[in-house]
């Protein structure tokens, strides 16, 4: 049961980041300023669900791994601090900052610089989380 909870939380966290990233990119490139404001506001509000989900993913992962020494567990453990730091130090503050700026109509160089940093950091977290999901599936025999 713990494995299923961890897997579900990890996949949902990955999908949250993918949705944030994709909606940001599409709204910025193809849609109106009003839509960008709505996307930024929505992402800021969605953090209330996303942050606990990430904590659940990390907590259940550490609980499941225990003191395991399998190379895939070690790789997942090495990636987690980068995922957490990237999220807490870059992605969450950037999302809140961009939401505030967008809602006040401040689409300036600072906004777009932070936006670029957020997109790069989000892509990195998608890659790292994706690798953790992949390794987790290998650990539990999901791949032959």
Tens digits of residue pLDDT in 110-119? 999 999 999 9
Tens digits of residue pLDDT in 99-143? 999 999 999 999 999 999 999 999 999 999 999 999 888 887 766
In this structure, are residues 57 and 73 in contact, taking their beta carbons and an 8 Å threshold?
Answer: no
Mean pLDDT of all residues in 22-39: 96
Q: CA-CA distance, 85 to 81, in Å (whole number)?
A: 6
Phi, psi at residue 3, to the nearest 5°? Answer: -65, -40
Tens digits of residue pLDDT in 50-83? 999 988 888 888 788 778 888 888 888 899 889 9
Q: What is the pLDDT of residue 22?
A: 96
Q: 7 falls in which pLDDT band (50, 70, 90)?
A: confident
> In the CATH scheme, what is the code of domain 2-139?
1.20.120
Q: What is the pLDDT of residue 144?
A: 52
In this structure, are residues 40 and 99 in contact, taking their beta carbons and an 8 Å threshold?
Answer: yes
Q: What is the pLDDT of residue 63?
A: 84
Q: What is the pLDDT of residue 143?
A: 61
Phi, psi at residue 139, to the nearest 5°? Answer: -60, -35
3-state secondary structure of 61: helix
């Amino acid at each position: 049961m713990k494995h299923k909870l961890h897997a579900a939380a990890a996949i949902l966290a990955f999908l949250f980041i993918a949705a944030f990233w994709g909606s940001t990119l599409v709204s910025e490139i193809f849609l109106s300023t009003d839509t960008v404001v709505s996307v930024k506001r929505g992402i800021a509000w969605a953090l209330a669900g996303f942050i606990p989900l990430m904590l659940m993913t990390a907590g259940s992962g550490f609980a499941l791994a225990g003191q395991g020494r399998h190379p895939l567990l070690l790789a997942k453990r090495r990636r987690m601090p980068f995922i957490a730091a990237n999220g807490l130090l870059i992605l969450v503050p950037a999302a809140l900052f961009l939401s505030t700026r967008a809602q006040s109509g401040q689409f300036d160089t600072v906004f777009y610089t932070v936006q670029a940093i957020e997109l790069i950091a989000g892509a990195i977290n998608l890659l790292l989380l994706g690798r953790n999901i992949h390794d987790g599936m290998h650990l539990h025999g999901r791949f032959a």
